Structure 1
Amino acid sequence: MRLTFLGTGTSTGVPAVACRCPVCTSSDPHDKRTRPSLLLEFDGRAVVIDTSPDFRQQALRERLERLDAVVFTHTHADHVLGLDDVRVFYFRQGEPIPIYASPRSMGDIRRIFTYIFDQTYPY
């Protein structure tokens, strides 16, 4: 089993837009952090926990080629707005990718991303 921290930044990322504090202006690579997401790999499977708005960049950086499921902890923007980029894995794999979330979070996700769940367009 392998756990990869895809992003560990704040909800705005680090550096934050328009911030001139010492961390945001630092040249230290540790001060360049994308928003929260985790990748759990086990038995040839890949599960992502939360898809931040930086998910595309994170998946490219980690050379993620397969995705078997997505788990959402809650529906703040910094945890769900990368869901659209999961569709690429569906197109490549040709099979639905399960999403796991609390009933309330699942309702929020369905409202935010209505087009993903529209049966007219198979995503």
Structure 2
Amino acid sequence: MKKLIVKQMNEGQEIFIAKVSEEINSNLAKSLRAGDRMLVDSDGLAFIYILEDDSDLYYLYFQQDSWESLHKITLEQKKLVLDLGNDIQIELTSIVEELAFLTENIDGNGNYGEAMETAVQEVFHN
């Protein structure tokens, strides 16, 4: 499992484009595909989108500073694309549905911890 952290989110007319903090090897970038599922890191206050290749999983971390953009993506049903450089992009399929499910599940659910629940309520339920 490798951890990738989203450091930048840019809004276009039809899509949002996310960029990670580190340069990704072009061979790896070409082999990555959307995993269509998400996890929550309650301790790190992050949503994690799963990327995969033929042999491994990669965790794409959306930390709290990207949540406003994530909220807008869910509200406006926009696409989110991960730009890996070298003209390689991956659409993060199912992200709207996954985020909607997670944020609804976290709301009022103490299993995620008070800090995560409060942070999600402030961004996604106001």
TM norm structure 1: 0.30
Structure with higher helix content: 2
Q: Which has the higher contact order (CA 8 A, sep 6+)?
A: 2
Q: Quick check: which has more Rg, 1 or 2?
A: 1
TM norm structure 2: 0.30
